[in-house]
Amino acid sequence: MEDVPKTMAASAQAIAFPAGGEGKAQDWELVRLCQNGTAAAFEELVRRHQQRVFGLVAGILRRPQDVEDVAQQVFLKAYLGIRRFDQRAAFSTWLYKIAVNECWDYLRKKKVRPLVYEADLSEEQVSRLDGIVSSDRPPQSPSERAEVRELLDRILEALPEQDRQLLLLKEMEGFSVQELAEMLHLNVNTVKVRLFRARGRIMQTWRRRLKAGGKTGARPAPPAERKG
């Protein structure tokens, strides 16, 4: 899979897309080029949106081993459907909708629910997370960030699935309320209210765990198989 087809490599070299500044092509221009058969334009779109698609897929699936595969599938579907994309919405909105649908399809096909943690955080994990949260110093290294993210994922378990996704995508991945509403087919006001309530609930859970001090060790449970 690492090998790039010669035709695509050649077209990518032939058309240069500046990484920034005034000469930067807009998404809709790249989409138009892509609809006219310029594959290199799509490669540029992939580069621009891969981080957010990755975050979105990771936020919904929470199965790191599958995230890359599903993210690739998202872009493949987008490429195959781009001729039918009429640009009435932003390319990013259209792409994120594909990503959300692809995640749900994937979970349905695999007959698994997103990863569920069966045990509470350990005392050590609670104090570590508390230290990070109250220090105002965000974790620097990728491994530190990954660790904090995993701990926060467990805290977010307290929420219903859709509220968990909303909060995670909003606060960790930086999606706007408008984007979330479009992606998840919800009313903008509903998203705001659910986010606000989810915030309250997550903090209650967090304070309860701080109080309890985390008496049990925590390990992620194996993916729960869906019965029937």
Partner 1 sequence: MRTDPEITTAACPKYEALLEDYLEGDLGGAGAKDVAEHLAGCAGCREAFGEALASARMLRAAGPALGPGPGFSRIVMARIDAAEQQRTAERATFWQPFVSFGWRLAATATLAIALLITYEAEWGRPLQPNLAVVRPMNVSDIFSPDPARPPATSDEVLMMLAENNHGNN
SS3 225: strand
Please say which residue, 8 or 224, places its beta carbon nearer to partner 1: 8
Q: How far apart are the first and last CA of the chain?
A: 36
Q: How far, in whole angstroms, is CA 90 from its chain's centroid?
A: 18
Q: Output the smallest distance, CB 171 to partner 1, in A.
A: 4
State the Cα–Cα distance between residues 155 and 105, nearest whole angstrom: 26
- The contact mask relative to partner 1 for 147-186 (x = CB under 8 A, - = no) is -xx--x--------------xx--xxxx--x---------
Q: What is the CA radius of gyration of the chain?
A: 20
- The contact mask relative to partner 1 for 56-85 (x = CB under 8 A, - = no) is --xx-------xx--xx--xx--xx-----
Q: Which stretch binds partner 1 (CB under 8 A): 24-32, 94-102, 119-127, 145-153?
A: 145-153
SS3 5: coil
What are the backbone dihedrals phi and psi of residue 20, each rounded to the nearest 5 degrees, phi first?
-170, -175
20 contributes a contact to partner 1 by CB under 8 A? no
* Binder among 83, 111, 113, 145 for partner 1 (CB under 8 A): 145
Question: Residue 174, Cβ neighbours under 10 Å: how many?
Answer: 11
102 and 58 in contact (C-beta within 8 Å)? no
Q: Output the smallest distance, CB 28 to partner 1, in A.
A: 19
Structure-token match 């729960």, residue found: 224
List the structure tokens of 32.
């138009």
List the structure tokens of 41.
């334009």
* Binder among 139, 210, 218, 220 for partner 1 (CB under 8 A): 139
Please say which residue, 72 or 127, places its beta carbon nearer to partner 1: 72
Residues lying near partner 1 in the complex (CB under 8 A) are found at: 1-5, 7-8, 12, 39, 42-43, 46-47, 50-51, 54-55, 58-59, 67-68, 71-72, 75-76, 79-80, 132-133, 136, 138-139, 142, 145-146, 148-149, 152, 167-168, 171-174, 177, 189, 192-193, 195-197, 199-200, 202-204, 206
